[in-house]
Each structure stands twice: as C-alpha cells, then as structure tokens.
Amino acid sequence: MNRKALIGIIIIMTAALIGLLGIQLYWIQSASSVKEASFRRSVNEAMARVVYKLERLEKRRAAEISPFGGMLSFNRHLDYSLFITEHEMDSLISQELNIRGVDTRYQFGIYKPERDLFIMEKSSEHRMQLIQKGYAYPLFSFDMFTTPEYLLIYFPYERQFLLTELWGMLLISIVLIVVIVYTFSYTITILVRQRKLSDMKTDFINNMTHEFKTPISTISLACEALSDKEIPKSESVYDSYIEMISEENSRLSMLSERILHASVLEKGELKMHKKLVNLHTIIRDVIKSIRIQVEIKDGVIYANLRAKPSQLEGDRVHLTNLVFNLLDNANKYTPRKPVIRIRTENSGQGITLKVEDNGSGISKHEQKKIFDKLYRIPTGNIHDVRGFGLGLSYVKAIVEEHKGKINIESEMNKRTIFTIYLPYKIPE
C-alpha cells in the first residue's frame, strides 16, 4: 500500500469516526432533552395536583371551623397552619411525585414575594436555590384579597436523576464509542505497522541481494578463471583461487545462518544447548576473528576482562554470535578509526558485559527501535553500512533466552555502550 492510499484511508476513517461520534452525541443530547421535558411535565402535573388538593383541603377545613367559612369560593379563609402542617405538605408532594416516577430528593417552600418571606418550608438549606432555580406554582390564584403566594420546589440532584434515568442508553453509547475509537486506533496502528513492515522487508530483500551478490560474483569469477584454459595456472594460483572460493563460501554460509536465525526467532523455535562455558574464551576468540576488519579501518580493540569467575551456563554458539554481532556493529557504525572497548565484571549472581565504541551514536528516538526485527537506523540515501537489520534483535533474543538483561546508552557522534547482564546459572 502506497503512502497516498494509506493517508486517504486514514482521512476517510477519521471522517467516518467523527460522523459516527457526532450522531451518537446528537442522539444522547436528544434523549436527554426528551427526558428533561418529561421530567418537567411530570413535576408540573404533580404540583398542579398538590395545589388543587391544597385548595380543597383549605375549603374543607374552613367549612369545618365555621359554617360560613367556605361559602366564598373566591377567597382564602385560613392560615396554612390551620389546615396543613409541614410534614403533611411534604407527604402530599412526595406522594404525587412518586405516582409520576419522580423519585429524587427535593426542597419545597411557600413563598410570599411581597414580604420576601417563606411562610412554610421543608428546611432553610436551599432558600436561594428555591427562589432562583426552583419551579414556582401560584397558590389560591382566585383569592382577590391577598397578595400572591407561590409553592416553590427545587430538586438539588435533578441532573443526576436524569442521568440515572438515561444510564442504560449512556452506558451503551459509551461502550459503542469506546469500541469504535479502539477499533479505529487499532486499525490505523495495523495499517501503519504493515506499511513499515513492507518498507523494512523491501529494505531487507535489497540488502540481502546486495550482500549475496558480492560473494556469488567472486566465486563465479574464480570458477571462470579456473576453467579458462588460456590462463596459465600454477599450484599457487590454484591455491589462491580455492582459498578465495572457500572464504566467499564461508561468507555465504554466515549470511545464510543469520537469515535462518531470524526465521527461528520469528517462529519461536530457538533451541538452547546449555553447558558451562567460559565467557572470556568466547570473547578472545571473537576478537581474534574480527580484529583484521577493525585494523583495516585503523581501529583497535581493547579488552579488559576482569570477571572472576568467568564461567557461566549458556549456549556457546549463541553467545559467540552475540559477542560477534556487538563487535561487528561497533566496527560498522564507526566511520573512522574505531576504538572498541569490551570489558567484563562480576555483578551479583552473574557477569556484566559492556561493549563501547566511539561511533556515530544512536538518537533517543532510534534507541527504542533498534532491537526490532529488520530495523536499521535510517541513513538517508547513503548506504555505506551493510546488514540485514537482524543482529540486535537476535542479540536481545539470546540475552532473554539466558534470562539476562540488555541496556543501551548512547550520545550522538560520541559513543555507544551496550550493557549485558548474564546470570551464572539460567533459572528454570
């Protein structure tokens, strides 16, 4: 998948996700508005019944007190304390609200605006909220001889009650939004990874072709020279060509082994042949085999092997490859006159191995990726460092198989230090 197609897919998916989220939020808002309107309607119906019952109660009580007390229907005859108590008022309001499904805490009060006075109230805790935010219902509106009084009711937890009523829809919506966002993020991550993997595999194939091409060409030329009857051949010439073929064959074998190691790591089939090995002996053998490559670049390797004891449990072949990869990388990524320092020391229940070079260094951003399979530090259009991007991923796998740890410290254009801890005995 090319870059433009990937960007196009991401843009389309982002637009679709924003659209879905917008629709979801719109429906939630609509449902909330409907629920709020339903709540207000229920409260209005309940309070209309309370006002009606309150007026009926006043008339009945007035008639009980005086035969002529309830004759004038356009007048209120009694004070509130004579026909209803605060507790009875509270029970009446609670009953009507519960009938209509409004089951949340409330505060009420009978308020006389003219005197800024509460004639009756459940408590004085929410007076300001009752006046400013409460629902107001006129009492005895037919009374022509007294100033208007209002029954005020306020719900401190109205918003929480409405959300509780909507919790099922909200929960489903939140789950759907989370699933959509997660799926979108995961899909984008997979697409980006696939793009990077495709680039790395293309890079790997190009590098592998280049790496194999040189020894194959050399072997081919040597075979042609040996089979050409016109070229005079002496025993020394034969030996020279045979040695050249042998060296290039060994090189091909080593490259093949690296690719096989990568395949084994990928399948998780890495096998360890554990036995007691001397780490210092392994290091000295690797230094001996790689020293010429370092000296060709006017470099030097310093070994400071101080670990005593230096024996540990491990796989000799894999540990040899581990040390070789570290020294080979130190040499390859140091442009001029490499100075490579390798040292060991005892640390707790194992040995710490450090490999330091004076190379180009690795940035903080790249340090997080260098142990990934097929990853190579980008160098723009300059391809002066050969390799498959398999070495450090293999090193990390071997360290982990030995139950050890690996760390990296690096400063750009100054140095890089790989620190590896290997236990004396691999825990079961």
Say whether pLDDT at 375 is over 70.
no
What's the half-sphere exposure (Cβ side, CA atoms, 13 Å) at 381?
Answer: 0
pLDDT at 265: 59
From the options 1.10.287.130, 3.40.50.460, 1.10.3720.10, 1.10.150.120, give the CATH code of 168-267.
Answer: 1.10.287.130
Give CATH for domain 275-423. Answer: 3.30.565.10
- Rg of the chain (C-alpha set): 43
Segment 204-254, tens digit of pLDDT: 666 666 667 767 877 887 787 777 777 666 777 777 778 778 777 776 776
Tokens in use for 185? 């993020």
Residue 300 near residue 342 (C-beta atoms within 8 A): no
Strands 311-314 and 339-347: unpaired
Say whether pLDDT at 60 is over 90.
no
**Model confidence band, residue 97 (pLDDT cutoffs 50, 70, 90):** very high
State the Cα–Cα distance between residues 359 and 385, nearest whole angstrom. Answer: 13
**Model confidence band, residue 322 (pLDDT cutoffs 50, 70, 90):** confident
State the Cα–Cα distance between residues 12 and 32, nearest whole angstrom. Answer: 30
Q: Strand, helix or coil at 90?
A: helix
Torsion angle defined by CA atoms of residues 171, 172, 177 and 182, in that order, rounded to the nearest 10 degrees: 90
Q: pTM for the complete prediction? A: 0.49
State the Cα–Cα distance between residues 420 and 355, nearest whole angstrom. Answer: 9
Segment 171-185, tens digit of pLDDT: 887 888 888 888 888
Range 409-424 burial, b when 16+ CB lie within 10 A, else e:
ebeeeebbebebbbbe
Say whether pLDDT at 282 is over 80.
yes
Domain boundaries, the chain: 3-165, 168-267, 275-423
**Model confidence band, residue 391 (pLDDT cutoffs 50, 70, 90):** low
Say whether pLDDT at 196 is over 80.
no
User: What does pLDDT average to over the chain?
Assistant: 80
